Amino acid sequence: MENKSKPRANTAFLKGMRYSLSFFLIVLSCLYFFMVGLRAEEPIILINLLLGYAGIVFTAFFISFLVCYVGTKRGIEAGESADDKIFTRDGKLNINIFKKPLD
């Protein structure tokens, strides 16, 4: 019988990923556009602006993934979330978390 009082690890990870990705994306985007606006002495080349923003999106995704993964792993260790062997296997990341149903 499952313990319904603790959230499942994959649900906690995906919810945290959604919130932290939006937070980091907003903060890094504002910082990027502010810095580009300060430095724009000559005309801005659109492709360079878009390539820089793609780097910002990748960086935000990477940072939020690390934050959520470490946070969920520590939550499992502290007993705050249930480890249902979908998110982790023997303490290692299971890449197939998106292929299995959440509930």
3 within some domain:
no
Burial class for 36, CB neighbours closer than 10 Å (0-12, 13-18, 19+): middle
Q: Are 13 and 80 contacting, i.e. CB atoms less than 8 angstroms apart?
A: no
Averaged pLDDT score across all residues of the chain: 78
Number of domains in the chain: 1
Q: Which domain, by its residues, includes 65?
A: 9-98
**What is the structure's pLDDT at 95?**
55
pLDDT band at 85 (very low <50, low <70, confident <90, very high): low
| Predicted TM-score (pTM) above 0.85 | no
Quick: pLDDT tens for 14-27: 888 889 999 999 99
40 within some domain:
yes
82 within some domain:
yes
Q: How far apart are CA 68 and CA 91, in angstroms?
A: 15
Quick: pLDDT tens for 62-84: 999 888 888 887 877 777 777 65
Tell me how far apart the 2 most distant CA atoms of the chain are, in Å.
65
Averaged pLDDT for residues 90-99? 55
2 within some domain:
no
Q: How far apart are CA 48 and CA 2, in angstroms?
A: 51
